Structure 1
Amino acid sequence: MTEEDEEQFRRESAPRKYTLRERWADYRADVKRNRPKGAKARLRAWMDADAVDWGIRVAIVFLFIGGSYSLYINGVAYGWWHAWGEKPTVAATTTPAARPSPSASSEPAMSGGYEIGPDGVLVRPAEHAASTYTKPELPDEAKENTERGAELAAEHYLALLTYAWNTGDTQPFADMSNPDSNFANSYIGRINSLYSNGWEYGNSSSVTHILRVKPMEPDGSGVPEGTILVKFRIASVDGTSCYGTRITSRTGEYESTLSFLMTWVDGRWQETQGKMISDDE
């Protein structure tokens, strides 16, 4: 035996790789070979079945009928088609009532518990309205050209500043200030800016200690004749302020040192210079 004969023998005797696809092809070919020829022969072969095969066939038929009937019932219920023998009629339809357009709410717009006014600024609470603050009255002794008069006038001047913060009325404070006072002009500008778009309430300042009351020598420029230095300690609370829709509340008390140069002008005391230094600075 040559090598070629031996190789061919090995190939022929090796086990055949029988894939699933090849098995299915062989099965289909076998079915076709064994299928009866002609319609009558096929019908006779189909009828020639045992009880199990007939039971499976009957069950399949009943399942098909039940599924079809269920689909028919659901279709009638959901309006997909009309019931058998029913003639559709044209029913009178009514035009649905027009949905009313939403109207503006009668409730005021709110922000953080505050009502928003028509100008976009939070409405100031009525219990803290500017009208609830009384304009301070100048004591009679503060109308005298004495050191005590200057001291009381300085305390009254501080009260006018507090009144301006709480009401926005800076005119009484300005009337007791020298037009060239940087201290007064600074506070008047800040208060007017706040009240142009907001408000404030709960601001307070009170004198706790008198540190100095001393007549000053005139220098011909910043210190006019008839000027007295009044220096004291004060305790203050900034209160609650609003600018637009922003609320800031500072209820903690802090202390400062406040100094005024009070000048006697035309029979009354007038603030010429002022300086406030907070302990926190």
Structure 2
Amino acid sequence: MTVTHPIGLSAPTLADPVIAEAAARFVAARRSAAGLADFPGPLPADLATAYAIQATATAAWPDEVAGWKVARVPPALEETLGAMRYIGPIFARTVSAADGGPLSFPVIPGGFGAVEAEFAVRIAADAPADKLDYSPAEAAAFIAAVHAAIEVAGGPLAPVNTLGPTASTSVFGNNTGLIVGEEIVGGVEGADALRAEVLIDGQSVGVGSAAKLPGGIAAAVAVALSMAVRLGRPLKAGQWVSTGALTGVHSIAIGQQARVTFTGLAPMSGTAVAAGATA
């Protein structure tokens, strides 16, 4: 497996063979829907190395990238890692639309699964391949629409949440899929006025809003634009950016039910199911 080195980041602190082995293990585990009890090899100490593992695994995955999820780096680690957020790929075959019917949230047996209430942005135009940095104001021009959404987080690595953001970044950004709900009238301003709530098995586990996103929705899109091009995959018109958890990361086990609501919109409900192997 050839290692992919992101553009404009510091050199990885793990050797290419170690990066390639971790990426290959993540690809194999996700393809076979088999959990991993431990990180396969040394845990990256920095995001540059984690992104190298992610990019190498993404290049080997048999699907197109349809967008990116954005997630917070815990505040206590921001200075150490030099970032407030990280991103991970959302693959085309894992994007679905909420149509009012029951949803399915795939969870790899022996891995990690979670649901997150998020705002998903549909990208308005192709991003240039030679621009590496974006301000929130520049990113706002790429927002075609904002939708209520559910990020189905997780993957094969069972202890990913306890291992931290370098583990999450490495293992496909800890993303399993994106469920796109209703378009929000008023775009970003309309979304800013909404409150989201997540219930697991009928119990409320979190309430929140765009106020939980530092700098707001446009700031999250700016990070996705900047990092996607550094990963050699500039955002394209029609792709998605899932902008970050509004109420928290809510673990879900196979068989549990989740209900996600946004003020004034139809609720989105479904059940966690065992993920199957990928052809």
Same-fold status (TM-score > 0.5): no
TM value normalised by structure 2: 0.20
Higher relative contact order (CA 8 A, sep 6+): 2
Larger fraction in strand: 2
Higher helix fraction (1 or 2): 1
TM-score normalised by L of structure 1: 0.20
